[in-house]
Chain A
Amino acid sequence: MMLKKIRLSASALLLVLISPCIFAKAALYLTEDVLFLSDKRQITSVDIINRGTRTGVFEVRWLDHEMQQDGVLKRIELGQLQHSLAPKVRYSPRRVTLQPGQSQRIKVALKRKAKQSPAGEYYSHLNVLTINDDLESTIELQQSADSEQQGLHVKARIGISIPVIWRHQVTAAKASLSVARAEGSKAKLRLEKKGQASLRGYIHVINQKTGQAAKPVMPVVLYPNLDNRLLELAVPDDNQEDLLVIYSASAKTEEAKDNALAQVNL
């Protein structure tokens, strides 16, 4: 059989040849990782910055998720969830083209009729997807007579989703921690939530003898649709009797000790 080569992913091969230029792409940079709206603060915003070296095209859209018992977010068709924020807000712009160093503020505002919604915590994820991370190359390829369009291409578009939360006539949820099971070096903790709002905080494991953190801080979120989560914790056997577990809104252990939302001895 006559052998023919298929040229696969011309762009990727080019990257191999000019590896020092691997950052010749747009870099997606968001200035917030969560946005909050309230009955008093009805407008919020996040900036998208292109910190790369090529022009990027970004699309902004909403996604809905529901948290499962294991903490995984399950994607739900937009607007299907009762707590979806997407239908209650307007936002703009929805697509932006940013040259290197340029930024664009995305504004999110509650619609006027949103105030008539039943009390509760509403949320959706604001998703910023990189449609094109090197607009210059795309244009060059389109204009080039010997464009290397042929070949097998595998292309990943990258995006970030941040939660946007509106607490409408609800108070902060209360947290409690209990030990569901402790066996040897593994413990299962149950974090429970009372109230309609979500819980956003960090689990700190503190050695009570030394007062120092015994494990790295673990961020744990409970979405409004859950009232508890089981958390698995690996703990050293020799320390187990001396460990204090704290759930706090602070990621800093010293602050967490004084501002515990819940705590339990292991």
Chain B
Amino acid sequence: MNKKLLFFAASAFLCCSPSGYSAFTLVKVTDISLGNVLAGPSGRQWVISTSGSVSGTGSSDYISGAQAGEILISDTTAPASAQIQAINITGTGGLSVNQITCSYNSGVEAHCDQSGYIVITGTLATSLKLGIDLQSTQFHNGGDSPQADFDIEITYQ
């Protein structure tokens, strides 16, 4: 299935609510992924932007496979004011998270882990892209399982 068809399928999937309902739908399409990187020491930083590009001091150890996170949001009662915020951010196994970034509907990439990011909802499925800035705090080998977790909360005002 090509990308256009896939997007159409996504919109069709999310745009239609059962009759009589007002409704809000969230579906996570992808998690953020750093892809493959080389083993290496602590202090390396990777910034995965909402477009999926990798930068930071650890980018020279990056090999391939990075991608931004993506969530599709639709709201049959749009427009409504909603706040997007990353909360409960944790890093374990030698990882720490510096910040989470968001871009809603292809808008400007902004921090969404501090005071929140206010958007106006739409009736059709709208993409929320997620990026992350993280740092290694220990040497990582091939067998390690470091992890970063966070909650993305969409809060209706």
Q: Measuring CB to CB, which residues of chain A are less than 8 angstroms from any residue of chain B?
A: 3-9, 11-13, 15-16, 19-20, 22-23, 25-34, 47, 49, 51-52, 63, 65, 67, 71-75, 125, 127, 129-130, 133, 149-163, 202, 216-221, 251
Which residue of B25, B142, B145 is within 8 Å of A4 (Cβ)?
B142
Minimum Cβ distance to chain A for residue B45 (Å): 13
The 4 closest A-B pairs by CB, nearest first: A12-B33, A27-B27, A9-B33, A4-B39
Do B118 and A72 touch across chains, with their CB atoms under 8 A apart?
yes
Contacts of B18 in A (CB 8 A): 31, 49
Which residue of A7, A155, A159 is within 8 Å of B154 (Cβ)?
A159
Q: Provided the pairs A22-B30, A72-B116 are in contact, do residues A3 and B79 lie with their beta carbons within 8 angstroms? A: no
Q: Provided the pairs A7-B142, A8-B34, A155-B149 are in contact, do residues A23 and B81 lie with their beta carbons within 8 angstroms? A: no
Q: Can you show 17 pairs from A to B with CB atoms below 8 A apart?
A: A3-B39, A5-B36, A8-B65, A12-B33, A20-B6, A22-B30, A23-B29, A28-B27, A29-B25, A31-B21, A32-B23, A152-B144, A154-B34, A159-B151, A159-B153, A160-B26, A161-B155
Binary flags per residue of B29-59, CB closer than 8 Å to A gives 1, else 0: 1111111111100000000000000000000
Binary flags per residue of B49-82, CB closer than 8 Å to A gives 1, else 0: 0000000000000010101010100010101110
Task: Report how many A-B pairs have Cβ atoms within 8 Å.
Answer: 219
Count of B interface residues, CB-CB < 8 Å: 67
Do B79 and A219 touch across chains, with their CB atoms under 8 A apart?
yes
Complex Cα spacing A203 to B22, Å: 21
Complex Cα spacing A206 to B123, Å: 22
Complex Cα spacing A151 to B80, Å: 39
Contacts of B34 in A (CB 8 A): 8-9, 152, 154
Q: Which residue of B lies closest to A74 (CB)?
A: B115
Contacts of B141 in A (CB 8 A): 4, 6
B87 at the interface (CB under 8 A from A): yes
Q: Which of B17, B75, B146 has the most CB of A within 10 A?
A: B146
Do B118 and A71 touch across chains, with their CB atoms under 8 A apart?
yes
Minimum Cβ distance to chain B for residue A230 (Å): 14
Which residue of B10, B25, B33, B145 is within 8 Å of A154 (Cβ)?
B33
Minimum Cβ distance to chain B for residue A233 (Å): 14
Contacts of A51 in B (CB 8 A): 13, 25, 27
Complex Cα spacing A111 to B148, Å: 39
Contacts of B35 in A (CB 8 A): 8-9, 12-13
Complex Cα spacing A152 to B48, Å: 14
Q: Which of A19, A160, A202 has the most CB of B within 10 A?
A: A160
Do B28 and A153 touch across chains, with their CB atoms under 8 A apart?
no
Do B23 and A3 touch across chains, with their CB atoms under 8 A apart?
no
Complex Cα spacing A149 to B145, Å: 7
B143 at the interface (CB under 8 A from A): yes
Complex Cα spacing A163 to B79, Å: 16
Do B25 and A28 touch across chains, with their CB atoms under 8 A apart?
yes
Complex Cα spacing A33 to B22, Å: 7
Do A153 and B148 touch across chains, with their CB atoms under 8 A apart?
yes
Do B152 and A159 touch across chains, with their CB atoms under 8 A apart?
yes
Given A13-B65, A133-B28, A221-B81, 6 further pairs, Cβ under 8 A = A8-B35, A19-B1, A27-B13, A63-B155, A125-B156, A161-B155
Do B79 and A251 touch across chains, with their CB atoms under 8 A apart?
yes
Minimum Cβ distance to chain A for residue B20 (Å): 9
